[in-house]
Amino acid sequence: MKQLNLTLFLLVAFCYASNAQTKVELLDSLFTTLYSHGKFNGNVLVAEGGKPIFEKSYGKAEEQSGRLLTTESVFELASVSKQFTAMGIVLLQKQGKLKYDDLLSRYIPELHFYGPITIRHLLHHTAGLPDYMEVMDEHWDKTKIATNADVIKTLARLQPKAEFAPNEKYEYSNTGYMLLGSIIERVSKKSYGVYLNKFIFKPLQMKHTLVYRSRFQPQKLENYALGYEQDSTGRKVLPDSYGQTYYTHFLDGIVGDGMVNSNLEDLLRWDQALYTDKLVNQADKDQIFNGTTTLDGKKTAYGFGWMIKDSDKYGKIVNHSGSWAGYITFIERHLDHQKTFIALQNNAMRRTKIPSAEVRKILYGEKVEIESHKPIQVTSQSLARYEGMYASADLSFKIKIYVKDGSLYGHGQAEKQRPFKLDAFENQVFLYEDASIKMIFNPESHTMDYTQGTKKMLFTKE
C-alpha cells in the first residue's frame, strides 16, 4: 500500500510521431512495447470527455492456467483505495455524523495519547502517526491475520511515539487511512465494505467493485486477476508462496488504506461521477481536490485521497498510485480537460512501469518517446571488444566491463556495488533495465555512452 514512486525511467530510442499517427496507435505502441519488455502486464483505459479512446488488456490474469486478462478483469487497487475511504468520510460529514476537525480520540478513544490529531490531519497525511506496518511486523503474531481492531489494540498497548506534531508537515501515512477506515465503521455501525457499497458503489452502478480480502475472507470472484511479485531469482511468484508470515498475508485483514477491488469500467464510472453532484457538491470537491497548509506555511500536494499537481501545460491533475501484493495501480484525472488515465497491473516486477508522462504527451499531441530496441544474439568472441575499464570525468569511480558465460557484465568499482548483466541489442546497445541503465559502445573510439534515467555521461576505455 505504500505510495508508489511515479518517476519513470524508460530506456528509449527517439521515435517521433508523424501527424498520421493517431493517439490510439501511439498508446497501443507504447503499451505493447512496455509489455514486450516485461514492464507492463495489465489493463489500461484512456478517456477524453468521459468516452474511452483506448482500452486494452496485456498479458495473463493467471500464470499457472494461462488465463488471459480481459478489459473486465478485477484487480486489487492497493492505495488507490484511499480515495474511496476519503469519500466515505466526506459522506459521513455530509450526513452530519462527524466533522473534519473532530479529534481522532472522539471515535477511537483507545488512541487518546496521540492528543490533538483530527480527522482532517488523517485525510491530508499530516497526523505524524507511526507506520502500523512496521509496528505489526515487529510485534504481531504472524500466524494470525490482523484486522483494524488488532492494529488499534496493538497501538494502544505499545503507545509508539508520533513521528511529529499534528500538521507540522506532510508525510504519507497508511496508518492514517487505516484509522479512517475504522472511523467509517464505528460511526456508520457498518463494515467498511458494506458502507462503501451502499453509499458509493451501488449509487454509481459500480457492479464489479467491492472490498475484498482474499486471504482473510476468501471467496470466488469471476475474472479476477491474481497478483504476482518477482522473487530473488527473477521468477514471477504469488505472494502467498512466501508463507503466512509474509506481510501481505498477515496484514490482509486491514481496510481503509487498501483492499478495494475494481475494474476499468467501474473506475471510469467513478471518475465521471466526480464531475457531477451525484455524490458530493462543488464545495466538497474543493476540499477533496486541494491540499492543506502546514505549520511552516507550506501548501501540501495531497487532498482527501488524491495527489494534486497544477501544471502550466496540462492544468490541474489529480492522481493516485498503489502497490501491494503483486498489484501496481494508477488513476489520473485532468480536471480542466476531462482526460482520464487508468492502469491496473497484476505484476509487481522490478521493471514494472506506469508511463504517465508518455500518456500525457500523447493526449496533448506532444512528441513522444517510445522504446524500440531489437535484441540480438551474441557470443563471447563478439563481446570481447567491449571489455575493459571505463572512466568518466563526471564520476569518481570506474566501470569494469567483462565477458562471463557468453554475456556482457558491468561492475561499478565503488564500495558495495555488485556486477550486473547487460542485455544485448542492435547498434551496440546494452541494457540493464532493472536500474534503467543503457550503454552504447563505440569500439573504434574506445568510448561508451552511458545513460541512467535522465543522466548521460561519456566513458572512455583506459
What pLDDT is recorded for position 16?
Answer: 38
What pLDDT is recorded for position 351?
Answer: 82
User: pLDDT digits over 309-367, tens only?
Assistant: 999 999 999 999 999 999 999 999 999 999 999 999 999 998 898 999 999 999 999 98
Mean pLDDT (whole number) for 452-461: 88
Residue 5 has pLDDT above 70, yes or no: no
Residue 47 has pLDDT above 80, yes or no: yes
Three cell numbers, residue 43: 489493463
Range from 4-8, 30-34, 45-49, 88-92 carrying the lowest mean pLDDT? 4-8
Are 437 and 310 in the same domain?
no
Question: Has residue 368 been placed in a domain?
Answer: no
> What percentage of the chain carries pLDDT values higher than 70?
94
User: 437-442 and 260-262 as β-strands: parallel, antiparallel, unpaired?
Assistant: unpaired
CB neighbourhood size of 142 (10 A): 16
Residue 7 has pLDDT above 70, yes or no: no
Residue 228 has pLDDT above 50, yes or no: yes
Binned at pLDDT 50, 70 and 90, residue 11 comes out as: very low
Residue with cell 469500467: 265
Residue 420 identity (one-letter amino acid): F
H or E element in which residue 298 lies? none
Are 407 and 347 in the same domain?
no
Mean pLDDT (whole number) for 225-235: 91
Question: 73, 79, 188, 321: which one is catalytic?
Answer: 79
User: 133: left (phi > 0), else alpha (psi -120 to 50), else beta?
Assistant: alpha
Residue with cell 459500480: 206
Q: Which one is predicted more confidently, 140 or 434?
A: 140
Helix (H, G, I), strand (E, B) or coil at 16: coil
Question: Has residue 53 been placed in a domain?
Answer: yes
Q: Which one is predicted more confidently, 416 or 450?
A: 450
Are 260 and 297 in the same domain?
yes
User: Which residues, at least 6 apart from 49, have a Cβ–Cβ distance to it below 8 Å?
Assistant: 338
Are 357 and 388 in the same domain?
no
Residue 371 has pLDDT above 80, yes or no: no
Where does a domain end: 363, 397, 424? 363
Are 249 and 398 in the same domain?
no
Question: Has residue 94 been placed in a domain?
Answer: yes
Binned at pLDDT 50, 70 and 90, residue 417 comes out as: confident
What pLDDT is recorded for position 380?
Answer: 93
Cα(245)–Cα(429) distance, integer angstroms:
42
Distances (CA, A) of 249 to 85, 253, 261, 347, 412: 22, 8, 17, 17, 37
What pLDDT is recorded for position 9?
Answer: 33
Are 333 and 220 in the same domain?
yes
Residue 454 has pLDDT above 90, yes or no: no
Mean pLDDT (whole number) for 206-232: 95
Burial class (CB in 10 A: 0-12, 13-18, 19+), 159: exposed
Question: Has residue 417 been placed in a domain?
Answer: yes
Where does a domain end: 337, 363, 389? 363
Please name the residue ranges forming H helices in 16-59. 23-36
Are 386 and 341 in the same domain?
no
What pLDDT is recorded for position 218?
Answer: 94
Mean pLDDT (whole number) for 362-382: 85
- Check which CATH number belongs to the domain holding 395 and give it: 2.40.128.50
Question: Has residue 302 been placed in a domain?
Answer: yes
Mean pLDDT (whole number) for 246-258: 97
Are 108 and 220 in the same domain?
yes
Give me the long-range contacts of 435-439 (CB less than 8 A, separation at least 24).
436/9, 436/10, 436/11, 437/11, 437/410, 438/11, 439/410
pTM confidence score:
0.83
- 81 counts as catalytic: no
Question: Has residue 46 been placed in a domain?
Answer: yes
Range of the domain at 273: 23-363
Average per-residue pLDDT in the chain?
A: 92
What pLDDT is recorded for position 84?
Answer: 98
Mean pLDDT (whole number) for 192-207: 98
What pLDDT is recorded for position 434?
Answer: 73
Binned at pLDDT 50, 70 and 90, residue 270 comes out as: very high
Are 346 and 384 in the same domain?
no
Question: Has residue 5 been placed in a domain?
Answer: no
Distances (CA, A) of 202 to 21, 195, 258, 263, 329: 40, 10, 19, 15, 22
Number of compact structural domains in the chain = 2
Mean pLDDT (whole number) for 142-168: 97
Q: Please name which of 256, 255, 251 lies closest in space to residue 141, comparing C-alpha atoms.
A: 251
What pLDDT is recorded for position 414?
Answer: 73
Are 48 and 112 in the same domain?
yes
Mean pLDDT (whole number) for 101-130: 98
User: pLDDT digits over 170-190, tens only?
Assistant: 999 999 999 999 999 999 999
- Check which CATH number belongs to the domain holding 340 and give it: 3.40.710.10
Helix (H, G, I), strand (E, B) or coil at 434: helix
Question: Has residue 17 been placed in a domain?
Answer: no
Mean pLDDT (whole number) for 141-165: 97
